[in-house]
């Protein structure tokens, strides 16, 4: 039996009702604003600003800093719903002025979020109608740790937005992460050096004004660890400059010429002892690049590569001592020595991602389970799963997949591959199955006979032609930690009324299991 839904804490109830109360205040203010706008627009604007300032001070004084972000999420949802109700009530032309007043009041009173206590702000999560007011008043949010400005103007009005962004960043001494796509410039970078000395993460992807000259400014941010510059004007020489002078960098995102950069550094900068890079992601690696990676980057943990048989030997990865996350794309499990690689390095791996990897049968899955005893995440995307090539009679040295917690299985295969993994992964917590993965009631019945899925928390079966509602009931009734059972609507043999009955049963028994679609669940 799954866990029962527990009463919400007073803290949670207060966080939910505070935005509701604010929306009630908005609705109470609208008649007053309508009357004022008929006589004096300036007086109406003054009255509205006074209410906004008073509410902002009240929220800032009463809500603890560690709860402010959570309250902000609730407030954004409530104001969005309120504006939607205003739209639905708009049915005739004479009401347009009333509608504009309603929206103006709602947007203005959302300024209560502009507090020094706010730690995370993602502009792209806000309704479009609210984004402008937050972008123009960033300087009010002095305590931000993480700021995502998204794509801003999409590169169309970069110069017009520049002064606004600089003004907002000037007060953010504690900022550690910044995302600004399309509209970053050298002027903004200089402002970051002056105002945000603690910056560790930046994402300036698609910013056409970021060039090789910008790198000389970026490297002056001494604490910078992650720099993402994809689709900018930075060339190979700029990336080399970044690697050489950005001494604390651990990640520059995917860059297909990263191996060439290492070759150049090896030739032209022999005095460099090592780089602090921990992530290597490229689609054009050679054997020499992997050897240099092992030499220059002793802290390397994550490697993601596209395998080219004529350019790279996968066994070169053996030299990377601290490798814990491995992602391989386009290779054969046995012919390209993936098996031998896992035999040597698998003892350190916690995450394994295989995409378009051929020759995977039960022997291959058994090798993964035996050579990677600490594996926690296994992702198989569009791999060619073949029938058993031979019977594996040898006793298992260790229980297969004994530490596996997350499985993403998006492959066209018969059910026995999936059964082998799930029947042995006693600690599995998350399961996602792709549209082409075959499953039916008998598959899960056989899995339950050996593994009751006692640790399962989240299961997402994107599509199935043969699963029935019986499997859903079995999962709900037998997985004590289950909290999410999504995409039941995509099971072709499940009728709509059966889903309604299942949700009614969950509600009557007070089970803490959500079966709503992911988008609706995120809103809840």
Mapped onto helix, strand or coil, the DSSP state of residue 281 is: strand
Mapped onto helix, strand or coil, the DSSP state of residue 348 is: helix
377 domain residue, yes or no? no
Same domain, 168 and 78: no
- The CA distance from 316 to 290, in Å, is 6
Neighbours of 152 (CB within 10 A): 22
Q: Is 417 exposed, middle or buried (0-12, 13-18, 19+ CB in 10 A)?
A: buried
Give residue-wise pLDDT tens across range 168-211.
999 999 999 999 999 999 999 999 999 999 999 999 999 999 99
Last residue of a domain, one of 51, 81, 114: 114
Same domain, 22 and 146: no
Domain that holds residue 138: 119-253
- The CA distance from 202 to 144, in Å, is 14
Write down the pLDDT at residue 89. Answer: 77
296 domain residue, yes or no? no
Categorize the per-residue pLDDT at 369 as very low, low, confident or very high, splitting at 50, 70 and 90. very high
Same domain, 127 and 246: yes
455 domain residue, yes or no? no
pTM assigned to the model: 0.88
158 domain residue, yes or no? yes
pLDDT score of 157 more than 50: yes
Categorize the per-residue pLDDT at 92 as very low, low, confident or very high, splitting at 50, 70 and 90. low
Left, alpha or beta for 517 (phi > 0: left; psi -120 to 50: alpha)? beta
Same domain, 29 and 127: no
pLDDT averaged over the chain? 90
For the CA atoms of 384, 385, 387, 389, the dihedral, rounded to the nearest 10 degrees, stands at 70
Region 142-149: what's the mean pLDDT? 93
> How many separate domains does the chain show?
2
Region 89-96: what's the mean pLDDT? 64
User: Could you tell me which residue, 389 or 348, shows the higher pLDDT?
Assistant: 348
Last residue of a domain, one of 114, 138, 155: 114
Give residue-wise pLDDT tens across range 449-483.
999 999 999 999 999 999 999 999 999 999 999 99
Q: φ and ψ at 412, to 5 degrees?
A: -85, 105
Same domain, 149 and 95: no
Q: How far is CA 138 from CA 131, 392, 491, in A?
A: 11, 62, 46
DSSP 171-201: T-TT--EEE--S---HHHHHHHHHH-TT--E
Region 365-376: what's the mean pLDDT? 95
Region 38-57: what's the mean pLDDT? 86
Write down the pLDDT at residue 26. Answer: 85
**What does the block give as tokens for 387?**
């029938």
Categorize the per-residue pLDDT at 390 as very low, low, confident or very high, splitting at 50, 70 and 90. low
Same domain, 66 and 154: no
Same domain, 47 and 7: yes
Same domain, 221 and 249: yes
Same domain, 100 and 139: no
Give me the CATH number covering residue 144: 3.80.10.10
Same domain, 124 and 108: no
**What does the block give as tokens for 470?**
């019986």
205 domain residue, yes or no? yes
Write down the pLDDT at residue 521. Answer: 47
Mapped onto helix, strand or coil, the DSSP state of residue 33 is: helix
- The CA distance from 302 to 351, in Å, is 9
Region 349-374: what's the mean pLDDT? 94
pLDDT score of 8 more than 60: yes
Write down the pLDDT at residue 518. Answer: 54
349 domain residue, yes or no? no
Last residue of a domain, one of 236, 253, 270: 253
Region 222-240: what's the mean pLDDT? 95
Give residue-wise pLDDT tens across range 277-334.
999 999 989 999 999 999 999 999 999 999 988 889 999 999 999 999 999 999 999 9
Same domain, 233 and 151: yes
Same domain, 212 and 155: yes
Closest CA to 360 of 331, 400, 340, 324: 331
156 domain residue, yes or no? yes
Categorize the per-residue pLDDT at 133 as very low, low, confident or very high, splitting at 50, 70 and 90. confident
Write down the pLDDT at residue 441. Answer: 94
Q: How far is CA 80 from CA 69, 73, 74, 106, in A?
A: 17, 11, 10, 9
Region 133-138: what's the mean pLDDT? 88
Q: What is the b/e burial string over 272-288, where b = at least 16 CB atoms within 10 angstroms of the residue's CB?
A: eeebbbbbbbbebbbee
163 domain residue, yes or no? yes
Region 235-256: what's the mean pLDDT? 94
């Amino acid at each position: 039996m799954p866990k029962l839904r527990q009463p919400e804490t007073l803290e949670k109830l207060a966080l939910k009702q505070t935005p509701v109360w604010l929306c009630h205040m908005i609705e109470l203010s609208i008649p007053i604003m309508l009357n004022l706008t008929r006589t004096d627009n300036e007086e109406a604007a003054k009255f509205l600003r006074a209410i906004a300032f008073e509410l902002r001070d009240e929220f800032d004084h009463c809500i603890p800093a560690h709860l402010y972000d959570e309250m902000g999420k609730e407030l954004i949802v409530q104001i969005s719903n309120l504006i939607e109700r205003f739209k639905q009530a708009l049915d005739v032309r004479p009401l347009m002025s009333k509608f504009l007043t309603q929206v103006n009041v709602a947007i203005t009173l959302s300024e209560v979020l502009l507090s020094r206590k706010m730690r995370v702000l993602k502009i792209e999560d806000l309704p479009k109608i609210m984004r402008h007011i937050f972008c123009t008043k960033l300087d009010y949010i002095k305590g931000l740790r993480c700021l995502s400005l998204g794509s801003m103007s999409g590169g169309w009005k970069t110069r017009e937005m520049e002064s606004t962004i600089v003004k907002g960043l000037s007060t953010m001494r504690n900022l550690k992460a910044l995302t600004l796509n399309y509209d970053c410039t050298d002027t903004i970078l200089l402002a970051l050096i002056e105002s945000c000395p603690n910056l560790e993460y930046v994402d300036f992807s698609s910013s056409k004004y970021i060039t090789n000259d910008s790198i000389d400014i970026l490297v002056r941010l001494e604490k910078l660890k992650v720099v993402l510059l994809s689709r900018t004007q930075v060339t190979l020489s700029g990336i080399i400059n970044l690697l050489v002078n950005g001494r604390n960098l651990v990640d520059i995102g995917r860059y297909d010429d990263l191996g060439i950069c290492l070759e150049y550094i090896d030739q032209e900068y022999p005095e460099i002892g090592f780089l602090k890079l921990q992530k290597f992601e490229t689609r054009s690696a050679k054997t020499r690049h992997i050897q240099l990676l092992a030499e220059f980057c002793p802290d390397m943990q994550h490697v993601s590569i596209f395998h080219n048989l004529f350019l790279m030997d996968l066994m070169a990865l053996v030299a990377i001592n601290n490798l814990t996350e491995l992602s391989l794309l386009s290779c054969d499990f046995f012919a390209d020595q993936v098996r031998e690689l896992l035999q040597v390095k698998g003892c350190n791996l916690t995450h394994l991602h295989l995409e378009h990897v051929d020759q995977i049968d039960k022997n291959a899955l058994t090798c993964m389970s035996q050579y990677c005893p600490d594996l926690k995440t296994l992702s198989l995307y569009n791999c060619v799963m073949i029938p058993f090539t031979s019977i594996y009679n040898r006793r298992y040295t260790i229980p297969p997949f004994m530490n596996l917690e997350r499985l993403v299985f998006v492959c066209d295969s018969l059910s026995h591959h999936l059964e082998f993994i799930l029947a042995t992964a006693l600690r599995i917590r998350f399961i996602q199955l792709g549209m082409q993965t075959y499953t039916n009631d008998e598959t899960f019945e056989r899995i339950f006979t050996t593994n009751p899925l006692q640790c399962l928390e989240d299961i997402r079966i994107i599509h199935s032609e043969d699963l029935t509602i019986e499997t859903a009931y079995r999962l709900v009734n037998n997985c004590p930690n289950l909290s999410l059972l999504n995409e039941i609507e995509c099971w072709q043999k499940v009728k709509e009324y059966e889903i309604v009955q299942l949700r009614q049963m969950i509600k009557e028994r007070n089970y803490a299991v959500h079966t709503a679609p992911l988008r609706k669940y995120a809103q809840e």
